[in-house]
Structure formats: structure tokens, C-alpha cells
């Protein structure tokens, strides 16, 4: 399905000029909108740059052509802006939320997160979405007048509600932040935030199939029975039976993105037409998402995830590397907790005199900010060894 280009701004779109503002008021400094400034601040943050050496599925030294956490984020941005543009939403806000959605991800993908959450179980746990909020509100220290990036209310809201409304028990970082700022945790987020969330699904469904094929974890013939994917693959082969593998992989991914974006745009327009929200806050109060897949495509997308789970995310090759990576995170957390002198000086100073729980949270901040290669270097420094993640 073709997707129309830019649409007039929808009444239910977020409007930068009507933003609920920032925690610390700032004077407008240039011609950029408030949401554009948010996106730019995230791009220039240290946490964003570190995504280049954080694992998506394959660790960075598996090869130069697999996605990293950074390239995944850029693909999410591209999809999010395309959908937001077609729906008449604020593209800059959707971009800012796509850029920020993985800032709190620890090294070594979900294996690193699982281990860090287990290490933090007695201290409030660890959640990478909540950690992204902590990054942009506390941990990025770049400005003269405040800690964090001082982003707009709407950007904070979208980060917190990446997976929808938040209910008790809240992740630690969100619970702490709620004392400073009411983000309407009970409501659905803006349409722009919903776009960023579904763009995340579209991007990783498509690129994980591509990376899995490149890595030889499964073959093209295994995809023929998959809904949505199989018909596209059959159509490509019918028209270009002798197409080389590299072009075939790319054409498959390109067409999948086109179909998925087209479906989201059509289904979202249908839901919005039924709901007829007057403005962005009315959309928040609807009690359900307005951005989503149609029923048929949602089932197909679920089938893609079900296909990838055993063949890629739980493939013995991937699991062996991630088990070793998880041990690195576990070892580092235990060492830092037992011996704060092992921390770099600036981090060591930040934990001195603190309670055990506060010390653990700061150590989790330090670990979550590490890249894969920094964590491996730290492990080699402190334990005289580092595993080969291959």
C-alpha cells in the first residue's frame, strides 16, 4: 500500500508551541521548535554516541554488517518519521522519542539487562526504558544550569510510556521522577510516542530477519511459510528468479517496511476516525492506542517474532555469547559493590558515604552506560581475563 506524503497537521498532533514545558524554564534561543531542540540534544548526548558499541543481537566484533544499538535506533527514526509524516503528527517529537528509546540499554543487549535486573533485585530492579528517563533527566551532565538534558514534558512522557500506561509497582527511575513531574502515568501517551513504539517493532522485525539470514542462523526457504514475509519473498523470486542473495535480502526488507508502514498508517487513520479526538489530550484519555497494526498484520507480526525467538534470540551461537556476556555484567557488579575502589575516580566519589541501595543504583548507572567493549576491558582489568563473545 502506498503511503501519502506529508499531511496537514492533525488536531490531535502534539504541538511544540503548546508544550507543557521543561522542568527548568529556558528562554527560546533560535528558530527550532522545542521538540526539534529535544531531538538535537539527544543526538549530541554521550549516551547516544555510546549506542554505537552496544549489542543489538550480535556483539560488535561478530562483523561490521550487523546492526548495533545505534544503527537500530537510526532505522527506528526513519520509520517513525515516515509514519508521523503520513498521519499529520509532529515528526520531530517522534524522532526525539525514537532517538531516546534505547539510551538506557546496558551492554550486551537483553542478556545484559536481565543480569543487571537480577543484580538489582534487592534495590528496586533495573528496566532499560526507565533507565532512559534517568539518563535524560539526571545522568547526562552537559549544561550549566541543570543535570540531564531538560527535555520537554512530552518527550519525558513518551520515554516513560514506550510500552503504554504505567501502573504500580513502578520501575525505580519512574517512581523517583514522578515526585518531580506528573507525566500522566495512567494515560496512553501522545500519538507521536505511539508511532515511535511501533516503529521500534517494525525496525527490529525487519532487520533481525536480515541479520539472521546474513549470519546463516536460518535460510530463505524457512521464511516461505511465514505470513506477510512468504508472499513478498515469492513475488520477488517470481519476477527475479536469479537475483543474488544480497539484493534479495535488501528487497525483502524494503518491501516489508513498505507494507508494515502502509498498514500502520491505514489502521491508525481508521482508529482515529472512529475516536475523533479533539486534541492531543483527548487522544491520551481514550483508554487505548490509536497507532497500531490491523488485526491481520498484527497476527503476521506476532508470527515473525515467534519465528525469530528460537531461531535467532535463542540460537545456541547467540546464547553462548550472551551467557558469557551476562557473566561479565554479573562479575563487574559484584566487584564494584564489594570494592568501590575499583570504580573510576568520578564514580567512586559519587558512591562514597551512600547507603547500600544508593550505592547499588549508582553502580547500575555506571554499568548501564558502558559499551560492550568498555565492559570487556573493565573485566580484563579487574579479573585478568575477558571472554571471547563468539
Over residues 186-240, the pLDDT tens digits come to 999 999 999 999 999 999 999 999 999 999 999 999 999 999 999 999 999 999 9
Tally of CA atoms within 13 A in the half-sphere of 257 that contains its CB: 23
β-partners of residue 55 are 68
Do residues 203 and 72 touch, judged by C-beta distance below 8 A? yes
Over residues 254-274, the pLDDT tens digits come to 999 999 999 999 999 999 999
Q: What's the pTM value of the predicted model, to 2 decimals?
A: 0.94
Do residues 84 and 192 touch, judged by C-beta distance below 8 A? yes
Helix 69-86, helix 191-215: angle, nearest 10: 130
The C-alpha atoms of residue 317 and residue 304 are separated, in whole angstroms, by 20
Q: What length is written for the chain?
A: 390
The C-alpha atoms of residue 260 and residue 265 are separated, in whole angstroms, by 9
Q: What is the DSSP letter of 312?
A: I
- Helix, strand, coil abundance in the chain, percent, nearest 5: 65, 0, 35
The C-alpha atoms of residue 265 and residue 272 are separated, in whole angstroms, by 11
The C-alpha atoms of residue 67 and residue 55 are separated, in whole angstroms, by 8
**41-50, 55-64, 91-100, 262-271: least confidently modelled range:** 55-64
Amino acid at each position: 500500500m502506498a503511503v501519502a506524503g506529508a499531511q496537514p497537521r492533525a488536531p490531535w498532533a502534539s504541538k511544540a508551541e503548546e508544550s507543557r514545558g521543561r522542568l527548568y524554564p529556558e528562554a527560546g534561543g533560535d528558530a527550532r521548535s522545542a521538540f526539534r531542540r529535544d531531538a538535537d540534544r539527544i543526538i549530541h548526548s554521550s549516551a547516544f554516541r555510546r549506542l554505537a558499541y552496544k549489542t543489538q543481537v550480535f556483539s560488535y566484533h561478530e562483523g561490521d554488517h550487523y546492526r548495533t544499538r545505534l544503527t537500530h535506533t537510526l532505522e527506528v527514526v526513519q520509520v517513525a518519521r515516515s509514519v508521523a509524516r503520513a498521519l499529520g503528527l509532529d515528526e520531530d517529537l517522534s524522532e526525539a522519542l525514537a532517538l531516546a528509546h534505547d539510551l538506557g540499554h546496558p551492554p550486551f543487549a537483553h542478556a545484559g539487562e536481565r543480569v543487571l535486573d537480577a543484580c538489582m533485585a534487592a534495590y528496586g530492579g533495573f528496566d532499560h526504558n526507565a533507565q532512559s528517563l534517568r539518563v535524560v533527566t539526571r545522568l547526562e551532565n552537559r549544561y550549566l544550569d541543570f543535570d540531564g538534558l531538560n527535555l520537554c514534558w512530552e518527550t519525558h512522557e513518551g520515554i516513560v510510556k514506550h510500552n503504554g500506561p504505567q501502573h504500580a509497582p513502578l520501575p525505580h527511575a519512574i517512581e523517583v521522577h514522578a515526585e518531580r513531574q506528573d507525566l500522566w502515568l495512567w494515560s496512553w501517551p501522545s500519538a507521536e510516542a505511539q508511532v515511535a513504539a511501533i516503529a521500534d517493532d517494525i525496525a527490529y522485525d525487519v532487520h533481525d530477519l536480515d541479520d539472521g539470514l546474513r549470519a546463516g542462523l536460518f535460510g530463505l526457504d524457512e521464511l516461505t511459510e511465514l505470513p506477510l514475509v512468504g508472499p513478498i519473498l515469492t513475488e520477488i523470486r517470481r519476477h527475479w528468479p536469479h537475483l543474488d542473495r544480497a539484493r534479495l535480502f535488501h528487497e525483502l526488507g524494503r518491501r516489508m517496511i513498505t507494507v508494515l508502514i502502509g498498514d500502520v498508517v491505514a489502521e491508525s487513520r481508521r482508529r482515529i476516525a472512529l475516536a475523533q479526538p479533539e486534541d492531543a489530550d483527548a487522544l491520551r484519555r481514550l483508554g487505548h492506542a490509536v497507532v497500531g497494526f490491523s488485526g491481520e498484520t498484527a497476527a503476521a507480526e506476532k508470527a515473525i517474532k515467534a519465528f525469530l525467538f528460537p531461531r535467532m534470540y535463542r540460537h545456541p551461537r547467540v546464547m553462548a555469547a550472551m551467557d558469557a556476556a551476562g557473566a561479565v555484567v554479573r562479575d563487574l557488579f559484584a566487584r564494584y559493590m564489594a570494592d568501590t575502589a575499583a570504580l573510576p575516580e568520578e564514580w567512586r566519589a559519587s558512591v562514597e558515604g551512600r547507603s547500600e541501595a544508593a550505592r547499588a543504583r549508582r553502580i547500575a548507572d555506571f554499568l548501564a552506560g558502558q559499551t560492550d567493549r568498555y565492559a570487556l576491558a573493565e573485566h580484563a582489568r579487574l579479573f585478568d581475563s575477558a571472554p571471547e563473545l563468539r
